[in-house]
């Protein structure tokens, strides 16, 4: 369980708070999507959950974050890192090794995974993301999307209980993006791994996430189940977050017909609504 | 320039050598080049370098290094040859002794620059870091810093090129400017580049930290780095090179 209470944070060399009185609670095994405009504080939120704030990034810190009952301020970063695996937004800076295999090994070696287990973990993680063939390649020879997959695989290999992914599909094509989301859902459902994902592709978020949190100017504007959050589409759009087209469609219908229609979050629902209205 | 430090995958004899052995060979060649003052020995060292590149199967990289050194080599040669006093004139103010000295200076430069670049081309940086900590007992943070520096050179160059391309697209003639002019255009770009690099480096440090950077010990690495028969053979070569440089 992750519990964030009244968290406010200003980076040491920042002027404005990057997060303002953020409160969020995630039960174990949740799948949370985080969305918001540029500079809203999404990355900062992921850093706070992973303990990089305040252990690596210092600044003015108010409130508290607990991960599985451990206060991130008091717990050493290494201990939090064993629980929380983070995929960074900027892949370039996440990858420290020049060759894929070494990047995969790095965390496994440091966290003392038994030698006998390392090859299996490595192959498994590469296989899950579908890049087993890239194992011996140098990072410099990979495309942006391939690098992103390496970054994801290197974190999956560590088998964290909580996965934090900051725009992990930014460089991926639609098909690979969907593959990653499908993989996350599988890990979430079969192994009960908690997933927190920052993502701009709202359609994917609505399809795969259980809860949504909308951030704007460091505040959580809305949080709750996907459908509840989408019901407040006007607020989201005011904050610069585009809603799925089907949601916009059902809202437009409500407006035109002058009566409130249910909010659609996927194509099936939109089809059902359309059919009902056509009758 | 961009890929001058990049690893070239392979499975040659040199690739399989212990990273420490490659480092030793590099150091030995450099030391030998400074100890000796004889042209044939320098030529011999150049041959060793070329052989190194050939056996490692990185002839292309070797050629690129030589080509990269060409301009500065010509400049140094002319400078030395023109400034040297003494010896018998050969042509205008250039003397035979001048030519010899200039040749040695240039050869020494080439011989010293080649091995490190070649060694980096055939060694994975992570193997180097691991071997430094495992075999030479270098504290991991120092080894990591070294590795990070080597790793950031190409990234820095890539970013610099990106900015220059963007500026060229805005009509600033980066592509046609040469020499000092180009240099003076690049300098103002360094500050923003440095700031973005610092932020990136900071993120990389965070990335290492959340993956147990502080937990890493001498024994953490999955791979082991024992010396093999090939390594001992190269040790013998190193001894021979040093002896040759000192005695000849
Ligand atoms: N390392 C840092 N040092 C100082 N200020 C920072 C740092 N990282 C982020 N900030 C500031 O904190 C605020 C929130 O940034 P954050 O990166 O969390 O936003 P974001 O929602 O992830 O944006 P994006 O969609 O662009 O990734 C911004 O004003 C940003 O300038
Ligand atoms: Mg971000």
pLDDT digits 0-9 by tens, B27-86: 999 999 999 888 899 999 999 999 989 998 888 888 888 888 888 889 888 888 888 777
What's the A222 CA to ligand 2 centre distance in angstroms? 18
Structural domain span for residue A43: 2-226
pTM of the entire predicted model: 0.85
Does residue A231 sit within a domain? no
B213 Cα–ligand 2 center, Å: 23
According to the model, what pLDDT value does residue B165 have?
A: 80
Q: How far is the CA of A247 from the centre of ligand 1 (A)?
A: 29
pLDDT score of B152: 75
Q: Which pLDDT score, from 0 to 100, does residue A220 have? A: 94
Atom 22 in ligand 1: residue holding the nearest Cα: A43
- Looking at residue B10, what is its pLDDT? 84
Mean pLDDT of chain A: 91
Residue A83 near chain B (CB below 8 Å): no
Question: What mean pLDDT do residues A3-26 have?
Answer: 95
CB contact under 8 A, B6 and A102: no
A52 interfaces chain B, CB cutoff of 8 Å:
yes
The number of the ligand 1 atom at minimal distance from the alpha carbon of A16 is 29
Percent of chain A at pLDDT > 90 equals: 71
Nearest CA to ligand 1 atom 31: A39
What residues are in contact with ligand 1 under a 6 Å CB criterion? Answer: A 11, 13-14, 18, 36, 38-44, 57, 89
pLDDT in tens, A170-225: 889 999 999 999 999 999 999 999 999 999 888 889 889 999 999 999 999 999 99
Q: Report how far ligand 1's centroid is from the alpha carbon of B239 (Å).
A: 55
Low-confidence ranges of chain B (pLDDT < 70): 1-3, 174-179
For the segment A123-160, what is each residue's pLDDT rounded down to a tens digit?
999 999 999 999 988 888 899 999 999 999 999 999 99
Domain layout of chain B by residue ranges:
19-131+225-247, 138-215
Cα–Cα distance for residue pair A5/A23, rounded to 1 Å = 5
Q: How many domains does chain A have?
A: 1
Global ipTM: 0.87
Give the model's confidence band at A7: pLDDT under 50 very low, under 70 low, under 90 confident, else very high.
very high
Question: Is residue A277 one of the residues assigned to a domain?
Answer: no
CA distance A81 to chain B (A): 5
Q: What is the CATH number of the domain that holds A92?
A: 3.40.50.300
Q: What is the pLDDT of residue A245?
A: 83
Chain B environment of A97 (Cβ under 8 Å): 125-126
Count A/B contacts: CB-CB distance under 8 Å: 94
Residues 6+ apart with CB under 8 A from A197: A31, A32, A33, A34, A163, A164, A165, A168, A184, A205, A209
Looking from the CA of residue A167, the nearest atom of ligand 1 is: 27
Residue A26: the pLDDT is: 94
A135 touches chain B (CB under 8 A): no
């Amino acid at each position: 369980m992750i519990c964030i209470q009244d968290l406010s944070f200003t980076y040491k060399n920042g002027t404005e708070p990057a997060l303002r009185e953020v409160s969020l609670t995630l039960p174990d095994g949740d799948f949370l999507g985080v969305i918001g405009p540029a500079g809203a504080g999404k990355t900062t939120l992921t850093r706070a959950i992973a303990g990089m704030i305040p252990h690596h990034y210092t600044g003015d810190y108010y409130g508290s974050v607990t991960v599985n009952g451990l206060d991130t301020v008091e717990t050493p970063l290494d201990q939090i890192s064993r629980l929380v695996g983070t995929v960074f937004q900027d892949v370039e800076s996440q990858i420290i090794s020049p060759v894929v295999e070494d990047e995969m090994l790095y965390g496994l070696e440091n966290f003392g995974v038994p030698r006998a287990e390392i090859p299996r973990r490595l192959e498994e993680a590469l296989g899950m993301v579908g890049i087993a063939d890239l194992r011996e390649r140098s990072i410099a020879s990979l495309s942006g999307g391939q690098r992103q997959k390496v970054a994801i695989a290197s974190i999956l290999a560590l088998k964290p209980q909580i996965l934090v992914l900051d725009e992990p599909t930014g460089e991926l094509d639609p098909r690979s993006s969907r593959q990653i989301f499908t993989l996350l859902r599988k890990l979430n459902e079969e192994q009960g791994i908690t997933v927190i994902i920052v993502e701009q592709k709202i359609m994917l978020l609505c399809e795969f996430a259980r809860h949504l949190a909308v951030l704007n100017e460091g505040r959580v504007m809305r949080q709750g189940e996907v459908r509840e959050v989408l019901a407040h589409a006007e607020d989201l759009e005011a904050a610069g977050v585009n809603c799925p087209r089907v949601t916009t469609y059902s809202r437009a219908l409500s407006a035109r017909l002058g009566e409130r229609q249910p909010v659609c979050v996927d194509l099936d629902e939109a089809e059902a609504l359309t059919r009902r209205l056509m009758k | 320039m961009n890929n001058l430090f990049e690893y070239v995958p392979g499975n040659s004899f040199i690739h399989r050598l212990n990273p420490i052995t490659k480092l030793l060979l590099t150091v030995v060649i450099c030391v030998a080049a400074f100890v000796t003052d004889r042209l044939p020995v320098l030529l011999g060292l150049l041959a060793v370098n070329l052989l190194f590149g050939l056996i490692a199967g990185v002839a292309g990289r070797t050629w690129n290094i030589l080509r990269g050194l060409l301009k500065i080599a010509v400049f140094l040669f002319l400078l030395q040859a023109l400034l040297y006093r003494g010896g018998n004139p050969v042509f205008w103010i250039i003397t035979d002794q001048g030519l010899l000295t200039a040749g040695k200076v240039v050869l020494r430069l080439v011989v010293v620059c080649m091995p490190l670049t070649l060694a980096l081309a055939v060694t994975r940086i992570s193997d180097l870091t691991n071997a430094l900590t495992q075999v030479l007992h270098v504290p991991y943070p120092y080894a990591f810093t070294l590795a990070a520096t080597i790793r950031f050179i190409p990234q820095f160059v890539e970013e610099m090129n990106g900015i220059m391309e963007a500026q060229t697209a805005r009509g600033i003639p980066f592509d046609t400017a040469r020499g000092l002019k180009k240099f003076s255009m690049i300098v103002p770009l360094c500050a923003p580049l440095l700031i973005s690099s610092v932020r990136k480096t900071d993120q990389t440090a965070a990335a290492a930290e959340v993956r147990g950077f502080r937990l890493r010990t001498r024994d953490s690495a999955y791979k082991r780095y024992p010396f093999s028969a090939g390594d001992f053979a190269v040790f013998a070569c190193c001894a021979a090179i040093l002896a040759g440089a000192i005695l000849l």
